[in-house]
Structure 1
Amino acid sequence: MNTINNRFIITGGPGSGKSTLLSQLSDHGYCCFEEISRIVIQEQHQIGGDKVPWRNLPDFAEICFQRMSAQLLECTADKNCFFDRGLPDIIAYLRRRGCDVPKRYFKHSKQYNKTVFLAPPWKEIFINDAERPESFEDSMEISLFLKNTYEELGFRVIELPKSSIKHRVKFINNYLSGANDL
């Protein structure tokens, strides 16, 4: 299973601006994939299911793993792709709750570029909603688990600036154009 160098992850705790950034990257012509966990939570709410992170994290994680693995296959080699969270996020969330992590999650996590962009906790933009019931303090803790997990798995974590979406897009563009190993 080889890393495809054009598969980039944007990660971070809930409410750190990832989805908004992905929307802007899409508007700039990048291939972007939405957050699977948010979709699964919405589906579970609609059917009254319990496969949400705060009720049944292992089953929720498995659904996300299957769908995120399928997303990877949709990324073609002709342009950079950005993912709103990656498979290592599942590992971090499971670890945070003390759950076992299936070995295949680690294996499949190697399919991304080794550079990952982290949207840090940012109180001024943090908002709760039905798919994001965590507090800002939870978001800070999750962000730390994400950063540590990505680094442990050998990723280079690049923290995004706490600035406008326009500036964050420019930051990523500048990084990608100046990076030699992409």
Structure 2
Amino acid sequence: MTEFDTMPSPLGEMLIASDGEALSGLWFLNQKYSPTLDGWRRAPTHAVIRATHEQIDAYFHGDLAAFTVPLAPRGTPFQEHVWRALLTIDYGVLTTYGDIALRVGLPKAKARAVGGAVGRNPISIIVPCHRVIGQSGSLTGYAGGLDRKRALLALEKQGAASRRPEFALTGEA
């Protein structure tokens, strides 16, 4: 059974999901590809959900750059391979879909397939799909919305460990 809770964030309400032993999902509410809660059980005191909430709070306060919560995203073998590659992108570093394609052993021509897998990432922020940009440097695609992607990249660029960063969303939540 999937256990879940929600939490506020500076960029909107988030949904946290656990398979009981690890984090299986972290989405902004109503983002593209977010799940329905059918058959899920609210469990705000579950250890994985509490740890995720604490780590996401610390990230948004500028106090955390690397997460330690155990992860268990579910997807196709190809998607999971791409998501593992995303975990190698350091805090504050940007890479391209083509670079991720090369990391997973595909030619640059397969960047579109990688983009599809990146877009289906079920663990926003922690599996840092927001750090992937287009070959031209453009901010392309983010299931949570491009305004959130811009805000996450700005937070990481600031690297502020001692003050709460300001966020401004201009588009859809």
- TM-score of the alignment, normalized to the shorter chain, above 0.5: no
Asked which structure has the greater RCO (Cα within 8 Å, sep 6+), the reply is 1
Q: Which has the higher helix share?
A: 1
TM-score, with structure 2 as normaliser: 0.29
TM-score between both structures, scaled by the size of structure 1: 0.28
